[in-house]
Amino acid sequence: MERLCFTLTNRLDEIAGLTRRTAAFLESHQVDVDAAFAIDLALEEMVSNVIRHGYKNEDSQQICVRLEVGSDQIVLVIEDCGPPFNPLDLPEPDLDRPIDQRPIGGLGIFLVRKTVDRMDYERREDRNILQITVARHDG
């Protein structure tokens, strides 16, 4: 399994460089477009949530990102030291409700959950650890 690891600080402007490097890594391993899209969406959404909500108004904090590409799947692991937050505990939004009656936000995690094959969350030693798995379909 090929691996790519990053450590970034809690600044939104670091996400663009992270996604560029991730896209190049996935392309170099001939990952199919659908799987690459799912990883990119998950990476951008989940890391931006850590920065905006987990580390809001805090000095420089670190976020660790690991990407593993195997022959049949891609695994993305995001670790942070923010307050405990399990995205799997969020209720699904009511998409039948008129848009002007829905709360602002909340669709990003929903879209990630619908796009990836598996999400697992664990709180270990004051760290949030989110593992996202996407199957490859390029064979």
Domain ranges of the chain: 2-135
- The per-residue b/e assignment along 113-128, b for 16 or more CB within 10 angstroms, e otherwise, is bebbeebeeeeeeeeb
94-127: pLDDT as tens digits: 676 777 776 666 678 889 999 999 999 999 999 9
CATH superfamily for 2-135 is Histidine kinase-like ATPase, C-terminal domain (3.30.565.10)
The DSSP secondary-structure symbol of 53 reads: I
pTM above 0.85, yes or no: yes
Mean pLDDT, residues 84-92: 87
Mean pLDDT, residues 20-26: 96
Residue 57: its pLDDT value, please?
A: 66
Residue 53: its pLDDT value, please?
A: 84
Single-letter amino acid code for the residue at 21: R
Work out the percent of the chain whose per-residue pLDDT is above 70: 91
Residue 94: its pLDDT value, please?
A: 66
Sheet strands side by side (includes 73-80): 2-9, 62-69, 73-80, 127-135, 118-124
